Chains A and B, each alone.
Chain A
Amino acid sequence: MVYLTRKIEFAASHLYHNPALSAEENRRIFGKCNNPHGHGHNYTLEVTIAGEPDPVTGMVLDLKELKDILEREVMHRMDHRFLNYEVAELKGQIPTCENVARVIWNLLEPKIPQGRLHRVRLYESADLFADCYRQGTGGAD
């Protein structure tokens, strides 16, 4: 099995607020991430595909094809957007790194034409990231 990883970067804003909680609880749990007008990050997304290289092309998946999928599914939806208000898949969810990584996984997994999606790693900053795997297929299971 060979693992290939493609990286993209996008910039987006978000805020953390749960309408089911009081203003004080929101402030206590989410701190400054609860500021009402939101704030932004430069996100880095690493997408890893697992598979055997095609005997003719030597590729697990054509990187150009993967780049186009990431452009269509992630960049168009999320780059320079306010995640809470402009990304339908995140409606009703707090756009934490964990939840955004899962949404990206669900967008990408059915679109990968060769190999299989192994890992989505989303960095919100250099010091904070979330990984998403299908259970039983990776990470320290």
Chain B
Amino acid sequence: MADGLRIELGRRYRFSASHRLHSTRLSEEENRRIYGKCANPYGHGHNYTVEVRLSGLPDPATGMIANLADLDAFVNERVIEAFDHRSLQDEVPVFREVVPTTENLCKEIFERLKSFPKARLEAVRIEETSNNSFEFAGDQEV
């Protein structure tokens, strides 16, 4: 930007989903030791909050980096509809192989959103609960 400033837009979304932390590469004892009650066989759920940050030049005609209606539609289609009220390891193909920790969820959501055409995706930060949050910024530092 001409004034040497960088602007990012941040938007938060919510979805609820269940998951079970269990790796087929570990024994039952190891799964139990590493994941504790998160390995319980029928899974458990969270209310996830996903914070998405994008950068770009605010359009002089609109003052916006990206129109929120476009961003909301993109995130809803790529993430919320695919994850909300789902069982992550049973209904999201990537998590059949990859343990659906929130670290991996950050990376998966980043992958799904990085092609947003109107602005550059900078980071995805997920609050799994109000006490735990995770952030991924692709190959950049947060």
Contacts and interface: CB of A to CB of B under 8 A. Distances in A.
B62 A140 contact: no
Interface of A: 16, 18, 20-21, 29-31, 93-99, 101-102, 105-106, 121, 126-135, 139-141
A18 B61 contact: yes
Given A127-B12, A140-B142, A96 B58 contact: yes
A105 B142 contact: no
20 contacts: A18-B62, A30-B62, A96-B58, A96-B62, A97-B9, A99-B63, A102-B58, A126-B12, A127-B12, A127-B13, A128-B11, A132-B7, A134-B4, A134-B6, A135-B1, A139-B8, A140-B122, A140-B137, A140-B140, A140-B141
A105 B5 contact: yes
Given A128-B10, A128-B68, A135 B5 contact: yes
Interface size class of B (residues with CB under 8 A): 20 to 34
Contacts of A94: 62-64
Contacts of A127: 11-13
A50 to B, nearest CB: 15
B123 interface: yes
Contacts of B107: none
A21 B61 contact: yes
Contacts of B55: 139
Given A18-B61, A98-B65, 10 more contacts: A16-B63, A29-B67, A94-B62, A98-B7, A127-B11, A129-B11, A132-B5, A134-B4, A140-B53, A140-B141
Contact of B64 (A96, A139, A141): A96
A20 B61 contact: yes
B69 interface: yes
Contacts of B9: 97-98, 128-130
